Amino acid sequence: MRGSRPLMNFTEVAHLTSAFLRSNVDITRICQMNPEVREKIESLFIKKGLRMTRPRQVIIEAAFSEQGDHFTAEELFEKSRQIDKKASLATLYRTVSLLVEGGLLHEIDLGKGVTSYDPNFIENPHHNHLICVDCSEVIEFEDQHISVLEDCITKRLGFSPASKSIQIKAKCDKLRQTGVCTKLN
């Protein structure tokens, strides 16, 4: 899981581009996210020739402010509406598509046919997911053995990995033993 995100100090603000500074958004909100994430978002917007508008800022803040939470578009919309009641679903879908296209969010299927988004691949690009089939809890993990196995398999078959996604769907041992799962409602 991700650790706490460092706050940006005033000396780091100096590198923000004029496009961001002209956008009339609250830069301090953007600056509170991980600097690497912030820089990648800034680069994506510059590359696409887009301004950082207040509606986009709200969506980005909602997407990247939590500690590694996966979310659906509907959950992100609710988080965005908590920040600003004027959040637009249309802007959300356009911004999410832009962030997925730019590699800042990853679309993942965590089961039940619902697309979720994972904001953790920038900070933890090699993480995998264990999904409880009983309560749908998602646990992120990294394991060096899996990385070695991936390399061995792809090389043996004559490929070079372009991306990877490992999901392990499992049943909770505690629920099987005690009949209780604190995650079940």
- Residue 18 reports pLDDT greater than 80: no
pLDDT digits (tens, 9 = 90+) for 103-118: 889 888 876 778 888 8
d(CA 2, CA 130) in angstroms, rounded, equals 16
> Any idea which residue has 């940006």 for tokens?
8
Q: Could you say which DSSP state residue 67 is in? A: S
The pair of structure tokens assigned to 39 is: 């820089």
Sketch the domain layout of the chain as residue ranges: 10-118, 128-178
Residue 167 host element (H or E): strand 167-170
For domain 10-118, give the fold: Arc Repressor Mutant, subunit A (1.10.10)
Q: What is the dihedral of CA 95, 99, 101, 105, to 10 degrees?
A: -130
Whole-model pTM: value is 0.67
- What confidence tens digit (pLDDT) does each residue in 136-179 have? 788 888 888 888 888 899 999 999 887 777 888 888 888 888 88
Q: CATH assignment of 128-178?
A: 3.30.1490.190
Whether the Cβ atoms of residue 76 and residue 59 lie closer than 8 Å to each other: yes
pLDDT tens-digit map of 68-106: 678 899 999 999 999 999 999 999 999 999 999 998 898
